[in-house]
């Protein structure tokens, strides 16, 4: 947001700090100043000059002139402008001597573009009724103070110079000058009727009608001021509306009244599919979520965003309808986002403007229009439709509370003085304050007494408050079991060489369709933050696939995991969020079998003794590589490989776990077991199994046999001879007693029992 230092000078009497110092003070007490830069620095040297002679330079578009500058004497100047001619009065800029096409030229005859007055560069400036040597009227060097827009989001009043001048007045102690004369608003009824269908979307709509309007370029002082703050001059009528917006933060719009059908302005929702041909030449298709301004024939503007082209001001306009309205901030923001159109007006309305400001804006426009369109006349009185909101409640606090909150002593008179300079109403009695909030601060900014502490604090300067640690004793609250558990899972996975990824909780319809996840099961986001993020995820897998696709271009193999929430619909209540964990192994080489066993091992690290039981594959899983993970008698997730059609290059295996169920299945208190004092005995047994036999089934059979002193039984490996149709598995068993060393007879007996049990499994 650009603020003119000259404009501030006009609104704050006796302002005597430099622009640089003012920028620093604004940063410390109001909003962040991003920079201070000069504008129009050359204008002190520029003056009016008369062209005495003008001769074309042969073979060029240039004109050789002699000019009477008054201040600098007679100069010879080369000019390339098409309107350069003898006898005209124009602007002379003493840039110094240079040679152009072999001809010496001393200085420059300047256009509005070259002097930073406007974007119009059709030719050099032309004046009448002034003498050579005269400074350009109303044009003097300025300094622009650039304020960060994000610092002003909560302060709609600061989106205009008058609001910022109010802050400067409070900071410097200089009196504020109000540029608005409300007596310019005529008495009596307006000639245009206003019908607002929903006051929640349009709290106020005010307008005036003018006749005998003359449309043309604005005076240079007006063009220069608008250009300095980043607004393009267009014509005198539109420029006045932009001036009011830049000064009072009140957007306005001017309609050619002869192009408005009927005698009533309607503020209503758009019809489904209704069209609006806008000022920018684009035709927008609207729906009932868009608020519009309409006449008897249809839409003439999109409320708060952009005016309509057919009703715009042209040089033929003689009657004028001047609108000054207030619209609901969220409604304007949604319409602007849907149309992909942000304007200077919409950016201000999105901040929650003050409904009281609409009539002030019209009064200021009346004064300006009389300056730029001589002979303009008001017709009738003010058309003003609004539902006056309840006045903001007064805020009470005590002086002792204010000092305690601030953390330093501050006199009662100083507190009252600061608030009064900021235009708050202050009543005091016995150390207590009752403060009324001005309308322009009540829309979004000030509502509780803590907000007033900030007002006093920023004005006295936060640097004046000694940094003292809070005296209230505090203790660290106990960590949630869920958080501790998830932290432990992260630690285990990172220790196994996995890298954590973080994804948004949003997916696109295309991502859900890729895994055939039903769209009906997803929650739809009304206002997606970006395209492709319109659904809340019901699984971590769509974004995990995205991670695989992005990383496979740079790595031949990698390990990833994500801990996040699945979000599932629930009828009549808030959605259910299920903490889940997806662990991924990817490799471009191999058949993927090693990856499945590695993830089974990782699952065993997190859940000792867990089992992988084959399950029917889902559509996105490899048809022969899908299993359920069971632990402590509970199914906790799945182990699978993505279907080759999903991951086309390489192979990706996934361990997917429900962390809620996994936490619930954690064993209770683990008792200390002393180290074994006596040696244990290991032996291996190899057994033939069916083509698709499971190691878990074999081990389960072994555990059913009562074998005294059996400490452990684990699967080691398998051997497959496809040519002979042989498949065998090897298991290792460990025997041991806590109080003695087992005898060879006991070991042999156990071996025989286990061998018999495994052989019976093989025969079965």
CATH number of 202's domain: 3.50.40.10
Residue 7 confidence (pLDDT) above 70: yes
> Which H or E run contains 108?
strand 103-110
How many other CB atoms are there within 10 angstroms of residue 114's CB atom? Answer: 16
- The band of 763, judged by pLDDT with boundaries at 50, 70 and 90, is low
Residues 505 and 610 in one domain: yes
CA separation for the pair 393, 340 (Å, rounded): 37
Residue 576 confidence (pLDDT) above 80: yes
The mean-pLDDT minimum among 80-84, 356-360, 469-473, 573-577 falls in 469-473
- The band of 400, judged by pLDDT with boundaries at 50, 70 and 90, is very high
Q: Is residue 18 part of a domain?
A: yes
Residues 355 and 403 in one domain: no
Contact (CB, 8 A) for 607 and 636: yes
Q: Is residue 471 part of a domain?
A: no
Residues 327 and 282 in one domain: yes
In the chain, what percentage of residues exceed pLDDT 70?
99
Residue 601 confidence (pLDDT) above 90: yes
Handedness of CA 235, 236, 237, 241 (dihedral sign): positive
Exposed, middle or buried by CB within 10 Å (0-12, 13-18, 19+), for 405?
A: middle
Q: What's the Cα-to-Cα distance from 85 to each of 72, 104, 111, 363, rounded to whole Å?
A: 20, 19, 14, 42
Residues 380 and 406 in one domain: no
| SS3 labels along 625-646 | EEEEEEECCEEEEEEEEECCCC
Across the range 715-731, mean pLDDT stands at 85
Residues 433 and 526 in one domain: no
CA separation for the pair 193, 266 (Å, rounded): 9
Residue 762 confidence (pLDDT) above 70: no
Q: What is the pLDDT of residue 638?
A: 96
Please tell me the total number of residues recorded for the chain in this structure.
764
Residues 727 and 744 in one domain: yes
Exposed, middle or buried by CB within 10 Å (0-12, 13-18, 19+), for 234?
A: buried
The mean-pLDDT minimum among 269-283, 427-441, 635-649, 669-683 falls in 669-683
Number of domains in the chain: 5
Best CA proximity match to 580, nearest among 513, 655, 521: 655
Provide the residue range defining the domain that includes 444.
Answer: 395-464
CA separation for the pair 349, 329 (Å, rounded): 6
Q: Is the pTM of this model over 0.85?
A: no
Q: Is residue 118 part of a domain?
A: no
CA separation for the pair 20, 43 (Å, rounded): 20
Residues 433 and 496 in one domain: no
Q: Is residue 130 part of a domain?
A: no
Q: Is residue 242 part of a domain?
A: yes
First-residue to last-residue Cα distance in the chain: 83
Residues 433 and 329 in one domain: no
Across the range 77-87, mean pLDDT stands at 94
- The band of 380, judged by pLDDT with boundaries at 50, 70 and 90, is very high
Best CA proximity match to 402, nearest among 417, 420, 415, 386: 415
Q: Which two tokens stand for residue 290?
A: 């868009």
Q: Is residue 223 part of a domain?
A: yes
703-713: pLDDT as tens digits: 888 888 888 88
419-448: pLDDT as tens digits: 999 999 999 999 999 999 999 998 888 999
The mean-pLDDT minimum among 215-229, 668-682, 741-755 falls in 668-682
| Domain C-terminal end among 408, 434, 464 | 464
Say what the alpha-carbon torsion angle 457, 460, 462, 463 is, to the nearest 10 degrees: -170
Q: Is residue 109 part of a domain?
A: no
CA separation for the pair 319, 460 (Å, rounded): 51
Best CA proximity match to 727, nearest among 697, 684, 694, 696: 694
Across the range 602-611, mean pLDDT stands at 92
CA separation for the pair 564, 721 (Å, rounded): 44
DSSP 111: B
CA separation for the pair 421, 165 (Å, rounded): 11
Across the range 657-669, mean pLDDT stands at 91
CATH number of 745's domain: 3.30.70.380
CATH number of 533's domain: 3.30.930.10
The mean-pLDDT minimum among 142-156, 426-440, 684-698 falls in 684-698
CATH number of 163's domain: 3.30.56.10
492-504: pLDDT as tens digits: 999 999 999 999 9
Contact (CB, 8 A) for 678 and 737: yes
Contact (CB, 8 A) for 643 and 592: no
Residues 372 and 417 in one domain: no
For 380, what's the count of Cα atoms within 13 Å in the CB-facing half-sphere?
16
Q: Which two tokens stand for residue 33?
A: 């100043």
Residues 376 and 418 in one domain: no
The C-alpha angle 504, 505, 507, rounded to 5 degrees, equals: 90
Cβ contacts of 740 within 8 Å, gap of 6 or more: 678
Q: 432: left (phi > 0), else alpha (psi -120 to 50), else beta?
A: beta
Residues 497 and 594 in one domain: yes
Grouping H, G, I as helix, E, B as strand and the rest as coil, residue 470 is: coil
Q: What is the pLDDT of residue 157?
A: 94
The C-alpha angle 330, 148, 202, rounded to 5 degrees, equals: 20
Q: Is residue 498 part of a domain?
A: yes
Residues 425 and 541 in one domain: no
Residue 120 confidence (pLDDT) above 80: no
Mean pLDDT, the chain, rounded, equals: 93
The C-alpha angle 664, 669, 673, rounded to 5 degrees, equals: 135
């Amino acid at each position: 947001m650009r603020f003119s230092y000259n404009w501030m000078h006009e609104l704050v009497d006796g302002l005597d700090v430099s622009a640089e110092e003012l920028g620093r003070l604004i940063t410390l007490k109001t909003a962040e100043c991003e920079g201070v830069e000069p504008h129009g620095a050359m204008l002190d040297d520029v003056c009016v000059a008369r062209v005495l002679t003008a001769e074309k330079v042969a073979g060029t578009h240039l004109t050789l002139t002699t000019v009477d500058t008054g201040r600098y004497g007679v100069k010879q100047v080369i000019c390339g402008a098409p309107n350069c001619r003898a006898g005209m009065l124009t602007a002379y800029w003493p840039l110094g001597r240079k040679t152009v096409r072999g001809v010496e030229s001393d200085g420059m005859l300047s256009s509005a573009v070259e002097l930073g007055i406007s974007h119009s560069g059709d030719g050099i400036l032309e004046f009448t009724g002034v003498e050579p040597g005269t400074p350009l009227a109303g044009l003097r060097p300025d300094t622009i103070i650039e304020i960060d827009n994000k610092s002003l989001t909560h302060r709609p009043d600061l989106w205009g110079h008058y609001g910022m001048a109010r802050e400067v007045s409070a900071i410097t102690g200089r009196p504020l000058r109000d540029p608005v004369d409300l007596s310019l608003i005529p008495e009596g009824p307006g000639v245009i009727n206003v019908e607002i269908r929903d006051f929640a979307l349009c709290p106020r709509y005010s307008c005036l009608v003018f006749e005998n309007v003359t449309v043309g370029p604005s005076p240079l002082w007006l063009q220069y001021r608008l250009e300095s703050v980043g607004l393009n001059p267009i014509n005198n009528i539109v420029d006045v509306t932009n001036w009011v917006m830049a000064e009072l933060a009140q957007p306005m719009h001017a309609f050619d009244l002869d192009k408005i059908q009927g005698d009533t302005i309607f503020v209503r929702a758009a019809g489904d599919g209704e069209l609006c041909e806008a000022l920018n030449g684009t035709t927008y298709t609207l729906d009932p979520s868009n608020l519009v301004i309409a006449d008897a024939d249809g839409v003439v503007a999109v409320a708060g965003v952009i005016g309509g082209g057919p009703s715009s001001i042209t040089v033929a306009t003689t009657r004028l309808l001047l609108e000054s309205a207030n619209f609901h901030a969220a409604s304007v923001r949604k319409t602007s986002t849907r149309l992909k159109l942000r304007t200077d007006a919409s950016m201000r309305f999105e901040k929650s403007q003050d409904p009281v400001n609409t009539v002030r804006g019209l009064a200021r426009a009346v004064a300006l229009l009389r300056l730029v369109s001589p002979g303009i006349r008001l017709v009738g009185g003010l058309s003003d439709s609004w539902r006056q909101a309840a006045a903001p409640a007064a805020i009470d606090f005590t002086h002792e509370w204010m000092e305690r909150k601030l953390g330093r002593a501050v006199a009662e008179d100083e507190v009252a003085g600061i608030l009064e300079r900021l235009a708050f109403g202050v009543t005091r009695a016995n150390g207590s304050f009752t403060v009324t909030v001005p309308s322009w601060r009540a829309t979004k900014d000030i509502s509780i007494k803590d907000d007033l502490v900030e007002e006093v604090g920023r004005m006295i300067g936060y640097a004046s408050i000694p940094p003292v640690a809070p005296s209230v004793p505090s203790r660290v609250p106990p960590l949630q079991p869920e958080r501790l558990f998830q932290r432990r899972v992260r630690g285990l996975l990172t220790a196994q060489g996995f890298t954590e990824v973080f994804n948004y909780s949003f997916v696109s319809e295309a991502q859900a369709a890729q895994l055939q996840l039903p769209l009906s099961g997803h929650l739809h986001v009304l206002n997606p933050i970006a395209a492709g993020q319109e659904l809340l995820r019901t699984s971590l897998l769509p974004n995990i696939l995205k991670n695989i696709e992005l990383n496979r271009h740079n790595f031949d193999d990698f390990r990833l995991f994500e801990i996040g929430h699945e979000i599932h619909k629930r009828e009549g209540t808030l959605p259910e969020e299920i903490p889940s964990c997806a662990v991924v192994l990817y490799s471009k080489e191999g058949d993927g079998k090693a990856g499945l066993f590695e993830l089974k091992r990782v699952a065993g690290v997190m859940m000792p003794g867990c089992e992988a039981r084959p399950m029917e594959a889902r559509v996105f899983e490899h048809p022969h590589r899908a299993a359920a993970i069971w632990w402590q008698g509970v199914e906790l997730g799945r182990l699978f490989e993505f279907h080759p059609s999903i991951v086309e290059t390489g192979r990706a295996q996934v361990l997917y776990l429900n962390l809620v169920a996994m936490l619930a299945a954690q064993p209770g208190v683990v008792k200390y077991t002393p180290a074994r004092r006596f040696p244990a005995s290991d032996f291996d047994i190899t057994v033939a199994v069916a083509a698709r036999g499971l190691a878990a089934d074999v081990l389960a059979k072994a555990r059913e046999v009562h074998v005294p002193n059996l400490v452990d039984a684990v699967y080691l490996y398998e051997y497959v001879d496809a040519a002979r149709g042989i498949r065998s598995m090897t298991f290792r068993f460990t025997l041991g007693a806590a109080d003695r060393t087992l005898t060879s007879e006991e070991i042999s007996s156990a071996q025989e029992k286990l061998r018999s049990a495994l052989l019976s499994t093989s025969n079965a």
